[in-house]
Amino acid sequence: MSNYFNNYFSLIDEKCKSIDYQELILVSELADKANKDGGKIIIVGNGGSAAIASHVSIDFTKAAGMRAISFNESSLITCLSNDYGYENWVARALEFYADKNDLVFLISSSGQSKNITNGARQAKEMGLSTVTLSGFSSDNELRTLGDLNLWIDSAQYNVVEVVHQTWILSIIDYIISNK
pLDDT tens profile 30-74: 999 999 999 999 999 999 999 999 999 999 999 999 999 999 999
Q: How confident is the model at residue 140 (pLDDT cuts 50, 70, 90)?
A: very high
> What is the average pLDDT score of the chain?
97
Spatial distance between the Cα atoms of 93 and 109, rounded to a whole number of angstroms: 21
Q: Is the pLDDT of residue 179 over 90?
A: no
CB–CB of 145/105 below 8 Å? no
Whether the full predicted model's pTM is greater than 0.95, yes or no, is: yes
Spatial distance between the Cα atoms of 50 and 139, rounded to a whole number of angstroms: 22
